[in-house]
Amino acid sequence: MRRYDLASGQQAKSIRGELEDLKLSIQSDDAEPEWVSRQMLDKHKRELEQAEADLEERLRAARLREEKIRQQERGRLRKRMKVADEEPDHSENDNAFLPDGDASDEEDNISPAVRALMKKWASRRKDDDTEPEEPTCTKIYYASRTHTQLSQFLGELRKTHYQSNARTVPLGSRKNLCINDDVKKGKYGADIDEACRALASEKDGKRCTYLPPPDEEAKMMDMRDHILSSPKDIEDLEGLGRQTATCPYYGTRRAIKQAELVTLPYNLLLQKRAREALGIDLTDHVVIVDEAHNLIDTILAVHTLPVSSTILRVSKTQVDLYRSKFRNRLKTKHVVHLTRLSVLLTALQKFTEAWANGNEDANENAKSDSSSGKKRPPQEELFGVAEFIRMLGAHAENINPLEIEKYLRESKIARKISGYSDKLADAAAASGIDPSKRAANARRKGVTPPLHAIESLLLALANPDEDGRIFLNKTGSPGAETVQLKYQLLNPSTHFREVVEKARSVVLAGGTMSPIGDFHTQLFSYLPSDRLVVYSCGHVVPKSNIRTIVLGKGPRGKTLEFKFGARGDEELIVELGQTVLNLTNLVPNGFVVFLPSYAFLSLVKTAWGKGENKILERLNILRASREWGRRERSQGLTYAHAYIQGLTGAILFAVVGAKLSEGLNFSDGLARAVAIVGLPFANLGSAELQARMKYVREHASSSGIDAGKELYENLCMRATNQSIGRAIRHRGDWAAIVFIDQRYGTPRIRSKLPGWIGTDLEVTDKFGEAMKNLGEFFRSKK
C-alpha cells in the first residue's frame, strides 16, 4: 500500500519510491536471474502507472459530474416564493416530540417478515439511485492536543513548497466551526451539537440557512473545493463560511475523502463515535499523533465519564414524564426500551443515595465513628463494573446497558425527551410571577441534556470488566452533598488498538517523549517487538548552549530534598529562597522557576514574604517583574511584557503540569534559565491512581520490575520533562537547566530525563562550585 499524490511531480516521486523499494527487495533475493528481476520491475511500474491513471480518471469524472450539476443549477430559473410557515406551533402540537417516524402507527399491524421485505426492497432502490462514490486517496491524519497547535502546524506547512498542492482539511467540532449566530448564542439551547442536528433535519424555512438543501448540491461542492484549494486553519474556515454563506462544519466533512492531509484534535481521533460521526475511516491511512507524551492520559480522560446524582435524578424525572405523556402514542419498541431505561436510572439513583447515607448494602467500607460507634460512609469508594451492576439489584442486573445505549443513539430520542421537558419548564416559568423562576429556567436550559451523559455512561459500562472501575465520591458541603458516579478507564490500549490495527502506520511524535516505557507496556503490549520502531535524536542546539546542573545542597549547606512530608519545613523553604536569590544574581533576562504544586507555591510565597526572611523584598530589587503562576495565562503575558520592555529582568513562578509548563514557549531571553524544584509526584493516596497502579501491576510481564512504581515515576518525570522543554526553542537559543533537589542525581531518576541531557548533567553538593560554573556559562554568552 502507498500514498497516491495527484500532482504529476508527486506521482512520479511516489512511483519512484515504490520501485526503489521493490528493487531493493529483489536485489536481496540472489536466487532470481537478472532478466526475471527486470521483468518484475517493468510489470510493477506499469501497474503503478495504471493505478495513477485510474485514480486521475475517476477524479476527472467527478469533476465533470460536479460541473454538470453546477450548469444545471445555473440554467434553472427558480422563483423562490416566501410562504408563511404552515407548520403547527410546537407549543400547540406535541407530535414534534415523538420519535422520528412515529407520528402514525400505520405500520404497527404489518408482520415482521413483511416489514423486513419492505426494508430490503427500499435498500435496493436506494442502491440503484446512488451516485458513484467520490474517489479517495491515502491520507495522513495529523492529530494534536489543541486547535492552536494544529494552526501552528498548518502555518509551518504554508512555508513549504507542498502548500500549493497538498489538499488539506482541518477538522473541528460544531462548536469550533458553527457560523449560525443564533445557535452560538443559545437560541436553540446551549448544546450546539443538538441544535445543529435539529436544524439540519428541519425542512423549508426552519432548516439552518447555512446548510444547503440536497437540490443545491453545487453550493456544498464549491465549499469543498475552496477548502481543498490551500491549507486553512479553523479561523480561516469560519471566514470562508461567512463569505460563502455555507456551513464549514459540513463542508469539511464533505472534503475528507479527497483530502491528502487531515488535521484534527485528539478527541476526534481517539473516540470511535466521533470518527464515525465525521465519516473517518482510518483503514490503510497514516496517523501521526503530535505532542504524544499526552496520549495515554488523553485516552483515559476522554473515556472517563462522570455523572452526578443530580443528573441521575433529572434524567429519571424526564424519562418518566415523557413515557407517561406519550405511552399510548409510542411504538412498542420505544415503550420497552424507555421502561428499561427508567428501571436502570431508578436503580442507579437508589444506589447512590444509599451509598451517600452509609447503607451497608451499598457500602461495605463504611468506617466506625469513634464517638457514636455508628458507621460513617467514606468520601470515596471504588467498585468493579460487574460488581457495581450486581449491587444495583436483580431488576437492573438483567438489563443490557449496551442495548439501551444503542437505542438512545440510533433513535435520537434523548433530544425529544429534553425538548419536551424544556417545553414543560417554559410553560411553568411563563405561568409563574416570580422572575427568579424564569432566570433559573434559563440557566437550566443552558445545560447539556442530561440523557447524553447517561448515554455515554451506559456505553462505558459495556467495556470489559477489567478495563475500568466505577468511582463514587462526595462533593459539596455537609447537608448539601452531591454524589458523583464516575467510570474511570484503566486500559488505554482498548480504545487505541482499533486505530493501530486499521491504520497503515501510526507515528507518535513529540519533543519530550521520555520516559517511553509506558507506551510499550500500556499501549502496545500486544504487538510483537519488530513492529515497534523507536527513533530518538539529540537537541538541535550545540552542547555549548546548554548547561544542566543538579543542586543537592543550598548556600547554607542544607540538603535540598523536597519530599512531600518535608515541604512544610520552613527552614527548607527559606533555603530554597536563598538558592533562588543566588541564581537570580547570575541569570540574565528571564528566569522561570517551576514548583511541584499550587499548595507548595502558596507555602513558598507565605514563607518568603515574612519580614525576617526578606526574600520577596530582595527579589523585588533584583527583578522588575515577579509573577506567581496562579492565573497562569495572564501572569505569563505580564512576565513576557516585562522582558520585552527591556526592564531589569523578570522571574516567573509556575507549577509543573499546569498550563505554563506545556502551553507557552519561553525562547531566547524569556528563559535564560529554568529551575525545577522538587519532583512533582502525584497524590499516592488517590484511589484512581491506586487503581491504575494495581492494573498495570496485574497486567505487566514478569520482568522483575514493579510496574506500578514505574508508572508512578513516569507520570512525574514526563511532566518534569515537559517543563524543561519550555526553554531552548531553536538552534541559536541557549539556557541553563537547574534541578533543585538532590534526587535528580540518582541513577533511576536521571535515566528518565531527556536523552539530550545525557551525560552532560552536572551533579554537585558544593553550592559555590555550581554557582561558579553557571557564572562562567552566562559570561560566555555575552
- Percentage above 90 pLDDT, the chain: 37
- Cα distances (Å, whole numbers) of residue 718 to 497, 688, 710, 763: 23, 19, 12, 21
pLDDT of 134: 63
Query: What residue ranges in 225-285 does DSSP mark as E strands?
Result: 261-265
3-state secondary structure 329-363: HCCHHHHHHHHHHHHHHHHHHHHHHHHHCCCCCCC
Residue 487 has pLDDT above 60, yes or no: yes
pLDDT of 298: 94
Q: How far is the C-alpha of 639 from the C-alpha of 652, rounded, in Å?
A: 7
Q: How confident is the model at residue 301 (pLDDT cuts 50, 70, 90)?
A: very high
Q: How far is the C-alpha of 166 from the C-alpha of 150, rounded, in Å?
A: 16
Residue 73 has pLDDT above 80, yes or no: no
Residue 141 has pLDDT above 90, yes or no: yes
Residue 397 has pLDDT above 90, yes or no: no
Find out whether 601 and 632 touch, Cβ atoms under 8 Å: no
pLDDT of 760: 83
Find out whether 767 and 553 touch, Cβ atoms under 8 Å: yes
Residue 674 has pLDDT above 80, yes or no: yes
Q: How many Cβ atoms are within 10 Å of 158's Cβ, its own excluded?
A: 15
Q: How many Cβ atoms are within 10 Å of 663's Cβ, its own excluded?
A: 15
Beta bridge partners of 367: 376
Residue 583 has pLDDT above 90, yes or no: yes
Cis bond leading into 515, ω under 30°? yes
- Specify which of 160-174, 501-515, 700-714 reaches the highest per-range mean pLDDT: 501-515
pLDDT digits (tens, 9 = 90+) for 89-122: 444 467 777 886 554 444 444 555 555 655 555 5
Q: Between 53 and 29, where is the model more confident?
A: 53
Residue 145, H or E segment: none
pLDDT of 744: 96
Q: Between 230 and 363, where is the model more confident?
A: 230
Residue 346 has pLDDT above 80, yes or no: yes
* Rg over CA atoms, the chain: 31
Find out whether 581 and 613 touch, Cβ atoms under 8 Å: no
Q: Between 2 and 574, where is the model more confident?
A: 574
Nearest to residue 303, comparing CAs of 275, 277, 278, 267? 267
CA dihedral 210→214→219→221, nearest 10 degrees, is 120
Q: Which of 17-31, 515-529, 731-745 has the lowest mean pLDDT?
A: 17-31
Average pLDDT over residues 298-321: 93
Q: Say what the pTM is.
A: 0.80
pLDDT of 429: 72
Q: Mean pLDDT across the chain, nearest whole number?
A: 80
pLDDT of 627: 56
Q: Between 536 and 456, where is the model more confident?
A: 456
Q: Between 10 and 778, where is the model more confident?
A: 778
Residue 761 has pLDDT above 70, yes or no: yes
Find out whether 700 and 521 touch, Cβ atoms under 8 Å: yes
Q: Between 230 and 23, where is the model more confident?
A: 230
pLDDT of 192: 84
Nearest to residue 144, comparing CAs of 508, 463, 525? 508
